[in-house]
Amino acid sequence: MKPKHIPPVMDALVNLIQKDDFPIKELVLSENKLKHDLHDFINALGSNQNIQKLDISGNFMGDVGARLLAKALQINNRLRTIYMDKNGVTLQGYADIVYALEHNHSMRTIPFPVFDIAPHLKSHPDKTDAVMRKMQELLQRTAMD
């Protein structure tokens, strides 16, 4: 898709997922390099009550996208699985997600973000381990509920 077509397509998708009768339970938007064009969509996830599985990996949404996702996860109680690696999210972005998971009891799976986390394993091994461990603990807690 040409870059000039991305904003109107994403706007239409945002409008769709905000409708109560939006029937899709699984949505794959991976490897599109949407960057900031994904932000409004993530913001709209908070009110969506249908999507249960979402793949937004490979979009380079960065920490801003992670912060928006964290905010959406504090509201959304239907999402169960999110694939979000290859988004250029730092430890701070994942710490924001962890904070949101403390208040979200519906998320069950966020596969380990190998590509996003690998650079931090050398520079901040202890902090990386702590953030990823906490995320997995919270997800496992939810899976057992």
Q: Which uninterrupted H or E stretch holds 17?
A: helix 6-17
pLDDT at residue 20 in the model: 87
Q: How many CB atoms lie within 10 A of CB 1?
A: 7
At 38, list the tokens. 């994904």
Type of residue found at 41: F
Residue pair 61/38 in contact by the 8 Å Cβ criterion: yes
pLDDT digits (tens, 9 = 90+) for 8-48: 999 999 999 999 899 999 999 999 999 999 999 999 999 99
Residue pair 135/99 in contact by the 8 Å Cβ criterion: no
Residue pair 113/82 in contact by the 8 Å Cβ criterion: no
Average pLDDT over residues 51-71: 98
Entry field: residues in the chain: 145
User: Among residues of the chain, what percentage have pLDDT more than 70?
Assistant: 99
Q: Which domains can be identified in the chain, with CATH numbers? A: 3-144 (3.80.10.10)
pLDDT at residue 143 in the model: 73
